[in-house]
Amino acid sequence: MRRTRTALLALAFGLSAGAVCAQDLRIGLQEDPDVLDPDQARTFVGRIVFSALCDKLVDITPDLEIIPQLATGWEWSEDGLTLTMTLRDDVVFHDGTPFNAEAVAYNIDRSQNLPESRRQSELSSITGVEVVDDTTIRFTLGAPDATLIAQFADRAGMMISPAAAEEAGLDFGLNPVCSGPFTFSERVQQDRIVLNAFPDYWNAEAINLASVTFLPIPDTTVRLANLRAGDLDMLERLAATDVASVMEDDGLTMEQAVSLGYQGITVNVANGEGAGSPIGESALVRQALSLAIDRDVVNQVVFEGAFAPGNQPFPPTSPWYDDDYPVPARDVDAARALLAEAGYADGVDVTIQVTNNPVQLQLMQVIQAMAAEAGINIELEAKEFATLLSDQTAGDYMASQIGWSGRVDPDGNIHQFVTTDGGINDSGYSNPEVDDLLNAARTSNDLETRLASYNGAADILMTDLPIIYLYHQVWIWALDDSVQGFVPYPDGMIRLEGVSLAE
């Protein structure tokens, strides 16, 4: 076993007990991340890597409380139009350059103005940035933005080295330089990403590992087999069908947390040539597909009841869920009637791309069989995840089975996906009324006021259905019993502070 080998090496070289823990942690990922640039990136697994690589202005607790990270505190003006943040004075980037207010100003400008940035809509409320001094930054907003602090808890708040970014340009993701606990070492596409501990990290005493290696293994069965064989120390997104097996394995442990996000089918309604299809052009066809799906059966058959059926960007347990639109029961007759009303009484063909892992393929095969009974003939296109995302961004798709890991603030689950020119609006959907409602939801800190805006948007989106929501998952991690100190978070990230490998 790996732990035995490590102990022998420790004896051979006279290492201390603390040094035994300082070894490589190997994490199995379900996909290979996209570009390792916080401004350009969009994948869930990329965010897992960033958690080790790039610190943010703020972070969250497992209970979703926003807490300081690179920022030590913040204060809003009474009118909600000015946010002043104080910053740590003991932080350097991995290239040795200082983290300070000037660096924050650079990062915000890059996120807002880099043409390839996906963070533009997340930070659109910021109209001015003032460097007060090295440890104080002030943001001026065009309108109150209840979501901004939560945005800073994710990629929009990740700070990269201005010097490195200026030198690398759009190639920054090939050798990312941040200020997190680990530095970038190497990447082999579809094989591994290796990070090494950063000795000058401001919170280095919380890091017990010398390095972390991320290994993309799309097949859930293979991923678990690698864990059992000792080739991995932990994996993310254990298949629900493997939960019982892992719980019975004395050499493994399991952790879980309810997700903030969802899985669904994004339909190309106006994103390039791929939009010219019956399902893209007709909301009635999209409604028919939604009604053809039995979400409860999907949850039982594919996930053994471990997840929650869904039909909105927020789970039914969320305070933001619109009770006026409960998860619909399957109704094949109603689905056929909608197809006939749309002019497709004899049926319709739909091509849906899906990532090439066994769980998502099984999900779509179940949906494929259900849809066929309603006259919707689905052809599945299995693709590697990065390719699927690239095609989706380019509009080279008809429909796409894809999900979202979720955000602390509800805005993060909906705004950028359905507002005109939203940063991840791959559907190409545009409705000025939806834009107004979701923009208004950003400007109030009052829950009831925001809820009214989200419910108003739901009144439209539940008819237009640019995204057909399917279910809300539970994050499940499987770990070798040598892994100590791991804490599960609802955002699905793997935070490595306090994590160690026992002897």
Distance, in Å, from the CA atom of 252 to the CA atom of 480, rounded to the nearest integer, reads 5
Confidence at 193, pLDDT banded by 50, 70, 90: very high
- Phi, psi of 92, deg, nearest 5: -125, 155
Q: Does residue 64 come out as left (phi exceeding 0), alpha (psi in the -120 to 50 range) or beta?
A: left
Residue extents of the structural domains in the chain: 2-30+181-258+475-501, 58-166, 262-472
Q: Are 24 and 212 in contact (CB under 8 A)?
A: yes
**pLDDT above 60 for 7:** no
For the structural domain made of 58-166, what CATH number should be given? Answer: 3.90.76.10
Q: What is the DSSP letter of 35?
A: -
Q: How many residues does the chain have?
A: 503
In sequence order, which residues have a C-beta less than 8 Å from that of residue 220 and are 6 or more positions away? 30, 237, 238, 239, 242, 357, 358, 359
Query: Measured at the alpha carbon of residue 241, what is the angle toward residues 240 and 243, in degrees to the nearest 5?
Result: 65
The architecture CATH gives domain 262-472: Roll (3.10)
Give the per-residue pLDDT at 444. 87
Averaged over 253-282, what is the pLDDT?
Answer: 95
In sequence order, which residues have a C-beta less than 8 Å from that of residue 185 and are 6 or more positions away? 194, 195, 196, 211
- Using DSSP's 3-state secondary structure scheme, residue 66 falls into strand
Residue 36: both structure tokens together? 């390792």
Confidence at 13, pLDDT banded by 50, 70, 90: very low
How does pLDDT run across 68-116, given as a tens digit for each residue? Answer: 999 999 999 999 999 999 999 999 999 999 999 999 999 999 999 999 9
Query: Which whole-number Å values give the CA distances from 138 to 75, 132, 158, 171, 238, in the listed order?
Result: 10, 7, 17, 29, 42
Confidence at 129, pLDDT banded by 50, 70, 90: very high
Q: What percent of the chain has pLDDT over 70?
A: 96
Confidence at 4, pLDDT banded by 50, 70, 90: very low
Give the per-residue pLDDT at 203. 97
**pLDDT above 80 for 12:** no
Q: Are 128 and 142 in contact (CB under 8 A)?
A: no
**pLDDT above 50 for 38:** yes
Averaged over 185-206, what is the pLDDT?
Answer: 97
Give the per-residue pLDDT at 11. 35
**Superfamily classification of domain 2-30+181-258+475-501:** Periplasmic binding protein-like II (3.40.190.10)
Enter the pTM of the model.
0.82
How does pLDDT run across 417-439, given as a tens digit for each residue? Answer: 999 999 899 999 999 999 999 99
Query: Which whole-number Å values give the CA distances from 471 to 44, 239, 311, 356, in the listed order?
Result: 17, 15, 7, 19
